[in-house]
Amino acid sequence: MTKYLFSLLLAGFLMVTSCVEETNPEFDQKSFTKIYDNNLYTIDYFPIDMVQTEDGGYLILGGRRLEDSNFTGIYLMKADKDGNFVKDIEVDESFVNPIAQLAFVNNNYYFFCMDPLTLQAQLGQTDANMENVNISATSGELYYPSAMQVDGNNFVLLSYNHLTKQSVLAVVNTSGVSSQSKAFTIGAGDQVEEPIINHFLRTGRQYPFEAGRIPGGLYYFNGFYNYTFSLVFTDLVQDDPRGVVQGIQDDGGFSAVKPLTATKFAAARFNFGDNYILPNTILNTTGTSSSVDLGGNTFPELEQNAKVKILRTVLKAKNVLVYGSNTRSKQIGLYFYDEATGAFLSSKYLGFSNPFEIAQVISTTDGGLAVCGTTYLAGRFPRICIIKIDAADIKGF
Protein backbone atom coordinates (compact mmCIF):
# COMPACT_ATOMS: atom_id res chain seq x y z
CA MET A 1 0.00 0.00 0.00
CA THR A 2 2.88 2.32 0.84
CA LYS A 3 4.36 1.75 -2.59
CA TYR A 4 0.99 2.52 -4.12
CA LEU A 5 0.68 5.68 -2.09
CA PHE A 6 4.06 6.99 -3.12
CA SER A 7 3.38 6.21 -6.76
CA LEU A 8 0.20 8.19 -6.54
CA LEU A 9 1.93 11.10 -4.85
CA LEU A 10 4.74 11.07 -7.37
CA ALA A 11 2.31 11.02 -10.27
CA GLY A 12 0.36 13.88 -8.76
CA PHE A 13 3.49 15.86 -8.14
CA LEU A 14 4.71 15.40 -11.71
CA MET A 15 1.34 16.49 -13.02
CA VAL A 16 1.20 19.69 -11.03
CA THR A 17 4.83 20.66 -11.67
CA SER A 18 4.21 20.33 -15.40
CA CYS A 19 1.85 23.30 -15.14
CA VAL A 20 4.36 25.82 -13.83
CA GLU A 21 5.73 28.87 -15.64
CA GLU A 22 8.67 28.58 -17.96
CA THR A 23 10.55 31.12 -20.03
CA ASN A 24 8.67 31.26 -23.31
CA PRO A 25 10.19 33.14 -26.26
CA GLU A 26 6.81 33.10 -27.98
CA PHE A 27 5.33 35.30 -25.28
CA ASP A 28 8.28 37.70 -25.65
CA GLN A 29 7.17 38.45 -29.19
CA LYS A 30 3.43 38.40 -28.70
CA SER A 31 3.22 41.18 -26.23
CA PHE A 32 5.72 43.75 -25.05
CA THR A 33 6.34 47.40 -24.34
CA LYS A 34 9.71 48.78 -25.35
CA ILE A 35 10.96 52.29 -24.78
CA TYR A 36 14.10 53.19 -26.71
CA ASP A 37 16.14 55.20 -24.31
CA ASN A 38 19.15 57.37 -24.86
CA ASN A 39 21.02 58.77 -21.88
CA LEU A 40 21.72 62.10 -23.54
CA TYR A 41 19.67 64.82 -21.91
CA THR A 42 18.89 66.81 -25.02
CA ILE A 43 18.32 64.05 -27.55
CA ASP A 44 14.94 64.30 -29.22
CA TYR A 45 13.82 61.55 -31.58
CA PHE A 46 10.21 61.17 -32.62
CA PRO A 47 8.60 58.40 -34.68
CA ILE A 48 6.82 59.02 -37.95
CA ASP A 49 6.04 55.58 -39.29
CA MET A 50 6.80 51.94 -38.60
CA VAL A 51 6.71 48.71 -40.58
CA GLN A 52 7.28 45.12 -39.58
CA THR A 53 10.16 43.60 -41.49
CA GLU A 54 10.25 40.08 -42.88
CA ASP A 55 12.41 38.84 -39.98
CA GLY A 56 9.65 39.85 -37.58
CA GLY A 57 11.51 42.94 -36.44
CA TYR A 58 10.42 46.54 -36.73
CA LEU A 59 11.78 49.37 -38.81
CA ILE A 60 10.99 52.88 -37.64
CA LEU A 61 11.23 56.07 -39.62
CA GLY A 62 11.63 59.00 -37.30
CA GLY A 63 12.69 62.58 -37.05
CA ARG A 64 15.27 64.30 -34.90
CA ARG A 65 15.99 67.80 -33.81
CA LEU A 66 18.88 69.48 -35.63
CA GLU A 67 21.14 72.10 -34.12
CA ASP A 68 21.81 73.93 -37.37
CA SER A 69 18.53 73.72 -39.20
CA ASN A 70 14.95 74.77 -38.68
CA PHE A 71 13.83 71.52 -40.23
CA THR A 72 13.85 68.11 -38.58
CA GLY A 73 16.48 65.56 -39.44
CA ILE A 74 15.99 61.92 -40.40
CA TYR A 75 16.29 59.10 -37.91
CA LEU A 76 15.98 55.39 -38.70
CA MET A 77 15.82 52.67 -36.10
CA LYS A 78 15.63 48.90 -36.20
CA ALA A 79 14.26 46.70 -33.41
CA ASP A 80 14.23 42.91 -33.39
CA LYS A 81 11.14 40.73 -33.13
CA ASP A 82 11.22 40.99 -29.33
CA GLY A 83 11.30 44.75 -29.65
CA ASN A 84 14.90 45.09 -28.55
CA PHE A 85 16.96 47.87 -30.04
CA VAL A 86 19.25 46.66 -32.84
CA LYS A 87 20.68 49.75 -34.49
CA ASP A 88 19.87 53.27 -35.51
CA ILE A 89 21.05 55.77 -38.09
CA GLU A 90 21.05 59.53 -37.93
CA VAL A 91 20.89 60.42 -41.61
CA ASP A 92 23.11 63.26 -42.73
CA GLU A 93 21.71 66.75 -42.17
CA SER A 94 21.72 67.43 -45.91
CA PHE A 95 18.37 65.67 -45.96
CA VAL A 96 15.48 66.72 -43.73
CA ASN A 97 11.74 66.53 -43.19
CA PRO A 98 11.03 62.81 -43.47
CA ILE A 99 7.37 61.93 -43.98
CA ALA A 100 5.15 58.87 -43.74
CA GLN A 101 4.70 56.41 -45.25
CA LEU A 102 7.68 54.12 -44.79
CA ALA A 103 6.76 51.93 -47.73
CA PHE A 104 7.81 48.38 -48.59
CA VAL A 105 8.19 47.96 -52.36
CA ASN A 106 10.28 45.37 -54.19
CA ASN A 107 12.12 44.26 -51.04
CA ASN A 108 13.18 47.78 -50.19
CA TYR A 109 11.86 50.37 -47.82
CA TYR A 110 11.16 53.83 -49.22
CA PHE A 111 10.35 57.18 -47.72
CA PHE A 112 10.29 60.78 -48.87
CA CYS A 113 12.23 63.65 -47.42
CA MET A 114 13.64 66.89 -48.79
CA ASP A 115 16.74 68.91 -49.42
CA PRO A 116 16.87 71.76 -46.87
CA LEU A 117 18.44 74.13 -49.39
CA THR A 118 16.50 73.48 -52.59
CA LEU A 119 13.38 72.20 -50.75
CA GLN A 120 13.17 69.58 -53.49
CA ALA A 121 11.50 66.29 -52.53
CA GLN A 122 13.93 63.38 -52.18
CA LEU A 123 13.29 59.67 -52.25
CA GLY A 124 15.07 57.66 -49.57
CA GLN A 125 15.61 53.93 -49.73
CA THR A 126 16.97 51.38 -47.29
CA ASP A 127 16.77 47.68 -46.54
CA ALA A 128 15.43 45.73 -43.57
CA ASN A 129 18.76 45.84 -41.76
CA MET A 130 19.54 49.43 -42.72
CA GLU A 131 22.85 48.42 -44.26
CA ASN A 132 22.63 51.37 -46.63
CA VAL A 133 20.50 54.47 -46.86
CA ASN A 134 20.35 55.94 -50.34
CA ILE A 135 18.66 59.24 -51.01
CA SER A 136 18.18 60.81 -54.40
CA ALA A 137 16.23 63.74 -55.79
CA THR A 138 12.84 63.28 -57.41
CA SER A 139 12.17 64.61 -60.87
CA GLY A 140 9.73 67.42 -61.49
CA GLU A 141 8.79 70.36 -59.34
CA LEU A 142 8.07 68.49 -56.16
CA TYR A 143 8.83 70.53 -53.04
CA TYR A 144 7.94 70.17 -49.39
CA PRO A 145 6.78 66.53 -49.40
CA SER A 146 3.78 66.25 -47.10
CA ALA A 147 2.33 62.74 -47.30
CA MET A 148 2.81 59.57 -49.30
CA GLN A 149 1.08 56.27 -49.79
CA VAL A 150 1.97 53.26 -51.88
CA ASP A 151 -0.13 52.41 -54.92
CA GLY A 152 1.20 49.18 -56.40
CA ASN A 153 4.84 49.80 -57.22
CA ASN A 154 4.38 53.55 -57.28
CA PHE A 155 3.99 56.22 -54.68
CA VAL A 156 1.19 58.75 -54.48
CA LEU A 157 2.93 61.84 -53.15
CA LEU A 158 1.39 65.02 -51.83
CA SER A 159 3.75 67.95 -51.81
CA TYR A 160 3.54 71.70 -51.49
CA ASN A 161 4.91 74.01 -54.12
CA HIS A 162 5.85 77.20 -52.29
CA LEU A 163 6.64 78.95 -55.57
CA THR A 164 3.16 78.59 -57.02
CA LYS A 165 1.38 78.12 -53.68
CA GLN A 166 -0.17 74.87 -54.79
CA SER A 167 -0.79 71.47 -53.30
CA VAL A 168 0.69 68.99 -55.76
CA LEU A 169 -0.41 65.38 -56.03
CA ALA A 170 1.94 63.20 -58.05
CA VAL A 171 2.55 59.57 -58.89
CA VAL A 172 6.24 58.80 -58.43
CA ASN A 173 8.01 55.54 -59.17
CA THR A 174 10.80 53.91 -57.16
CA SER A 175 13.39 55.79 -59.20
CA GLY A 176 11.90 59.09 -58.11
CA VAL A 177 10.46 59.87 -61.50
CA SER A 178 7.06 61.53 -61.54
CA SER A 179 4.75 60.12 -64.18
CA GLN A 180 1.58 62.05 -63.39
CA SER A 181 0.83 65.09 -61.32
CA LYS A 182 -1.72 67.80 -60.79
CA ALA A 183 -1.46 71.00 -58.79
CA PHE A 184 -4.26 72.65 -56.88
CA THR A 185 -4.16 76.14 -55.49
CA ILE A 186 -4.24 76.68 -51.76
CA GLY A 187 -5.52 80.22 -52.29
CA ALA A 188 -3.80 83.53 -52.54
CA GLY A 189 -2.05 85.36 -49.72
CA ASP A 190 0.67 84.68 -47.16
CA GLN A 191 -1.87 83.95 -44.43
CA VAL A 192 -2.87 80.76 -46.19
CA GLU A 193 0.70 79.61 -46.55
CA GLU A 194 1.89 80.46 -43.07
CA PRO A 195 0.38 77.45 -41.25
CA ILE A 196 1.77 75.14 -43.93
CA ILE A 197 5.31 76.40 -43.49
CA ASN A 198 4.92 76.25 -39.70
CA HIS A 199 3.89 72.64 -40.11
CA PHE A 200 7.13 71.85 -41.90
CA LEU A 201 9.20 73.74 -39.37
CA ARG A 202 7.25 72.03 -36.59
CA THR A 203 6.73 75.40 -35.00
CA GLY A 204 3.01 75.21 -35.51
CA ARG A 205 0.18 72.78 -35.70
CA GLN A 206 0.90 69.44 -37.37
CA TYR A 207 -1.71 68.94 -40.08
CA PRO A 208 -2.96 65.47 -40.98
CA PHE A 209 -1.82 65.55 -44.59
CA GLU A 210 -2.66 62.37 -46.48
CA ALA A 211 -2.41 61.10 -50.01
CA GLY A 212 -3.61 57.92 -51.65
CA ARG A 213 -5.83 56.27 -54.13
CA ILE A 214 -9.21 54.64 -53.93
CA PRO A 215 -8.35 51.10 -55.09
CA GLY A 216 -8.43 51.26 -58.88
CA GLY A 217 -10.17 54.61 -58.82
CA LEU A 218 -9.60 58.27 -58.06
CA TYR A 219 -6.58 59.67 -56.33
CA TYR A 220 -7.11 61.80 -53.27
CA PHE A 221 -5.27 64.04 -50.91
CA ASN A 222 -6.11 65.55 -47.57
CA GLY A 223 -4.52 68.97 -47.58
CA PHE A 224 -4.96 72.61 -48.39
CA TYR A 225 -7.12 73.51 -51.36
CA ASN A 226 -8.80 76.80 -52.04
CA TYR A 227 -8.25 78.29 -48.57
CA THR A 228 -9.52 75.26 -46.68
CA PHE A 229 -8.13 72.03 -45.36
CA SER A 230 -10.06 69.68 -47.64
CA LEU A 231 -10.28 66.14 -48.91
CA VAL A 232 -9.75 66.44 -52.64
CA PHE A 233 -10.45 63.74 -55.24
CA THR A 234 -8.78 63.87 -58.61
CA ASP A 235 -8.16 61.67 -61.62
CA LEU A 236 -4.85 63.44 -62.22
CA VAL A 237 -6.10 64.26 -65.70
CA GLN A 238 -8.53 67.12 -65.28
CA ASP A 239 -7.18 70.34 -63.87
CA ASP A 240 -10.05 70.71 -61.43
CA PRO A 241 -10.78 68.24 -58.69
CA ARG A 242 -13.42 65.63 -59.38
CA GLY A 243 -14.73 66.06 -55.88
CA VAL A 244 -14.00 68.04 -52.74
CA VAL A 245 -15.10 67.50 -49.17
CA GLN A 246 -14.42 70.90 -47.73
CA GLY A 247 -13.31 71.75 -44.26
CA ILE A 248 -13.54 75.10 -42.52
CA GLN A 249 -10.31 76.91 -43.33
CA ASP A 250 -7.89 75.05 -41.05
CA ASP A 251 -10.39 74.72 -38.20
CA GLY A 252 -12.26 71.79 -39.68
CA GLY A 253 -11.54 68.88 -41.97
CA PHE A 254 -10.46 65.29 -41.96
CA SER A 255 -7.90 64.08 -39.46
CA ALA A 256 -7.66 60.68 -41.15
CA VAL A 257 -9.26 58.92 -44.09
CA LYS A 258 -9.15 55.37 -45.41
CA PRO A 259 -11.10 54.27 -48.49
CA LEU A 260 -13.04 51.04 -48.07
CA THR A 261 -14.85 51.00 -51.42
CA ALA A 262 -15.28 53.55 -54.20
CA THR A 263 -17.48 55.78 -52.05
CA LYS A 264 -17.39 54.23 -48.60
CA PHE A 265 -14.71 55.48 -46.24
CA ALA A 266 -13.46 55.06 -42.72
CA ALA A 267 -12.63 58.55 -41.58
CA ALA A 268 -12.13 60.86 -38.66
CA ARG A 269 -12.64 64.58 -38.67
CA PHE A 270 -11.88 67.58 -36.52
CA ASN A 271 -13.99 70.65 -36.08
CA PHE A 272 -12.78 73.57 -33.97
CA GLY A 273 -10.87 71.20 -31.72
CA ASP A 274 -13.57 68.55 -31.41
CA ASN A 275 -13.03 65.10 -32.84
CA TYR A 276 -15.48 62.82 -34.63
CA ILE A 277 -15.00 59.25 -35.76
CA LEU A 278 -16.82 58.02 -38.84
CA PRO A 279 -16.12 54.32 -39.25
CA ASN A 280 -18.57 53.89 -42.08
CA THR A 281 -19.34 56.98 -44.11
CA ILE A 282 -20.26 57.66 -47.72
CA LEU A 283 -18.35 60.52 -49.29
CA ASN A 284 -19.23 62.36 -52.46
CA THR A 285 -16.12 61.85 -54.55
CA THR A 286 -17.45 63.64 -57.62
CA GLY A 287 -19.01 66.74 -56.17
CA THR A 288 -18.57 69.32 -53.47
CA SER A 289 -19.66 68.66 -49.92
CA SER A 290 -18.70 69.69 -46.42
CA SER A 291 -17.13 67.54 -43.72
CA VAL A 292 -19.16 69.39 -41.10
CA ASP A 293 -22.33 67.73 -42.41
CA LEU A 294 -20.99 64.24 -41.86
CA GLY A 295 -21.63 64.04 -38.12
CA GLY A 296 -19.87 61.07 -36.51
CA ASN A 297 -19.21 59.67 -33.08
CA THR A 298 -17.87 62.43 -30.89
CA PHE A 299 -14.89 61.62 -28.71
CA PRO A 300 -14.46 64.27 -26.03
CA GLU A 301 -11.78 62.15 -24.39
CA LEU A 302 -9.43 62.88 -27.28
CA GLU A 303 -7.16 65.87 -27.18
CA GLN A 304 -7.98 68.91 -29.32
CA ASN A 305 -7.62 68.28 -33.06
CA ALA A 306 -6.22 64.90 -32.17
CA LYS A 307 -3.92 62.95 -34.40
CA VAL A 308 -5.81 59.91 -35.70
CA LYS A 309 -4.49 56.80 -37.40
CA ILE A 310 -6.77 54.29 -39.09
CA LEU A 311 -5.79 50.69 -39.68
CA ARG A 312 -7.86 48.35 -41.78
CA THR A 313 -7.04 44.82 -40.64
CA VAL A 314 -8.29 41.40 -39.63
CA LEU A 315 -8.39 40.65 -35.91
CA LYS A 316 -9.71 37.39 -34.54
CA ALA A 317 -10.96 36.47 -38.01
CA LYS A 318 -13.02 39.65 -38.21
CA ASN A 319 -12.54 42.60 -40.55
CA VAL A 320 -12.07 45.53 -38.25
CA LEU A 321 -11.09 49.15 -38.37
CA VAL A 322 -8.67 50.23 -35.70
CA TYR A 323 -8.62 53.90 -34.82
CA GLY A 324 -5.65 55.08 -32.82
CA SER A 325 -5.50 58.49 -31.23
CA ASN A 326 -4.24 60.52 -28.28
CA THR A 327 -6.39 61.10 -25.24
CA ARG A 328 -6.50 64.09 -22.95
CA SER A 329 -5.14 61.83 -20.19
CA LYS A 330 -2.01 61.34 -22.31
CA GLN A 331 -2.74 57.76 -23.20
CA ILE A 332 -3.01 56.16 -26.60
CA GLY A 333 -6.59 55.13 -27.24
CA LEU A 334 -7.40 52.32 -29.66
CA TYR A 335 -11.00 52.01 -30.84
CA PHE A 336 -12.20 48.96 -32.74
CA TYR A 337 -15.07 49.01 -35.22
CA ASP A 338 -16.70 46.41 -37.40
CA GLU A 339 -15.64 47.26 -40.94
CA ALA A 340 -18.84 45.99 -42.50
CA THR A 341 -21.30 47.84 -40.29
CA GLY A 342 -19.27 50.52 -38.58
CA ALA A 343 -20.47 49.19 -35.22
CA PHE A 344 -18.28 49.87 -32.23
CA LEU A 345 -16.61 46.70 -30.94
CA SER A 346 -14.15 47.55 -28.25
CA SER A 347 -11.53 49.97 -26.99
CA LYS A 348 -8.13 49.68 -25.42
CA TYR A 349 -5.95 52.29 -23.78
CA LEU A 350 -2.20 52.15 -23.76
CA GLY A 351 0.27 53.89 -21.52
CA PHE A 352 0.11 55.17 -18.01
CA SER A 353 2.37 56.97 -15.56
CA ASN A 354 4.22 58.82 -18.33
CA PRO A 355 2.57 60.51 -21.35
CA PHE A 356 2.17 58.48 -24.53
CA GLU A 357 1.42 59.76 -28.06
CA ILE A 358 0.65 57.71 -31.13
CA ALA A 359 2.63 57.77 -34.35
CA GLN A 360 1.37 54.66 -36.12
CA VAL A 361 -0.57 51.47 -35.57
CA ILE A 362 0.14 48.43 -37.74
CA SER A 363 -0.97 44.83 -37.92
CA THR A 364 1.67 42.20 -37.31
CA THR A 365 2.28 38.83 -38.90
CA ASP A 366 1.13 36.98 -35.77
CA GLY A 367 -2.32 38.52 -36.04
CA GLY A 368 -1.73 41.15 -33.39
CA LEU A 369 -1.09 44.87 -33.44
CA ALA A 370 1.95 47.03 -32.89
CA VAL A 371 1.68 50.67 -31.91
CA CYS A 372 4.58 53.00 -32.39
CA GLY A 373 4.62 56.25 -30.48
CA THR A 374 6.42 58.64 -28.23
CA THR A 375 6.58 58.45 -24.48
CA TYR A 376 8.21 60.91 -22.13
CA LEU A 377 10.57 59.14 -19.76
CA ALA A 378 10.67 60.75 -16.35
CA GLY A 379 7.92 62.92 -17.74
CA ARG A 380 10.36 64.92 -19.83
CA PHE A 381 12.56 62.92 -22.23
CA PRO A 382 10.77 62.12 -25.50
CA ARG A 383 11.58 58.55 -26.47
CA ILE A 384 10.29 56.31 -29.22
CA CYS A 385 8.31 53.31 -28.01
CA ILE A 386 6.67 50.22 -29.45
CA ILE A 387 3.73 48.57 -27.75
CA LYS A 388 3.06 45.11 -29.15
CA ILE A 389 -0.42 43.79 -28.48
CA ASP A 390 -1.48 40.17 -28.72
CA ALA A 391 -4.86 39.80 -30.42
CA ALA A 392 -6.05 37.77 -27.43
CA ASP A 393 -5.56 40.82 -25.23
CA ILE A 394 -8.11 42.79 -27.22
CA LYS A 395 -11.37 42.05 -25.48
CA GLY A 396 -14.90 42.65 -26.56
CA PHE A 397 -15.15 40.68 -29.78
Partner 1 sequence: MKKLYSLSILLLLTGLVFGQAPKRKSPQAYNSRAQNTPGGNFLDKQWWLGLKAGVNLSDVTVDKRYSALSPGNYPTSQTDKVYDDFNAIGSQVTLEVSFYFKGFTFSLQPAYRHSVFTYSNNYEWSDPENATNRLELTYDNEQKVDHAELPLIFKYDIIGNRLRPYVQVGVYYGFLINANKSVEVSGTDYASGGVNEFTNDPVIIGAKDLFANNHWGLLGGIGANYNLGNVRLNLDIQYRKGMSLINSTENRFGSDRLSGIGEAMDDIKINNLAFSIGCLFPMRYLASGFKTLDQR
List contacts with partner 1 (CB under 8 A): 1-2, 4-5, 8-9, 11-13, 15-17, 19-24, 27-28, 30-42, 77, 79, 83-85, 88, 331, 349-354, 356, 375, 377-378, 380-381
Closest CA to 188 of 221, 224, 158: 224
Give, for 2, the enclosing helix (H) or strand (E): helix 2-17
Nearer to partner 1, 10 or 201 (CB): 10
- The distance of closest approach from Cβ of residue 385 to partner 1 in the complex, given in angstroms and rounded to an integer, is 9
84/341 with CB nearer partner 1? 84
CB atoms within 10 A of CB 187: 15
Q: What CA–CA distance (Å, rounded) separates 246 from 228?
A: 7
Least CB distance to partner 1 at residue 124 (A): 20
| CA torsion, ordered 238, 244, 250, 255, to nearest 10 deg | -110
In the complex with partner 1, the residue whose CB is nearer, 147 or 358, is: 358
Sign of CA dihedral 343, 349, 355, 361: negative
Q: How far is the CB of 5 from partner 1 (least distance, A)?
A: 5
Helix (H) / strand (E) element for 265: namely strand 264-271
Our CB check for partner 1 shows the closer of 23 and 203 to be 23
Q: How far apart are CA 291 and CA 277, in angstroms?
A: 12
State the nearest-atom distance from the C-beta of 50 to partner 1, in Å.
15
Q: Tell whether omega for the bond before 101 is within 30 degrees of 0, i.e. cis.
A: yes
Reported in sequence order, the residue ranges of 53-142 that DSSP labels E, i.e. its strands, are 58-65, 72-79, 85-90, 96-105, 108-114, 121-126, 133-137
The distance of closest approach from Cβ of residue 57 to partner 1 in the complex, given in angstroms and rounded to an integer, is 12
Indicate the residue among 244 and 334 with the shorter CB distance to partner 1: 334
- The least CB distance from residue 350 to partner 1, in Å, is 6
Q: Which is nearer to partner 1, 42 or 238 (CB)?
A: 42
- Quickly list DSSP for 134-194: EEEEPSSS-BSEEEEEEETTEEEEEEEETTTTEEEEEEE-TTS-EEEEEEEE--SSHHHHH
Q: Whole-number minimum distance, CB 6 to partner 1, in Å? A: 8
Q: Which CB atom, from 285 or from 374, has the smaller least distance to partner 1?
A: 374
In terms of C-beta density within 10 A (0-12 exposed, 13-18 middle, 19 or more buried), how is residue 191 classed? Answer: exposed
The CA-based angle 220-266-334, given to 5 degrees, is 125
Residue closer to partner 1 by CB (options 156, 389) is 389
Nearest distance in Å: CB 378, partner 1: 6
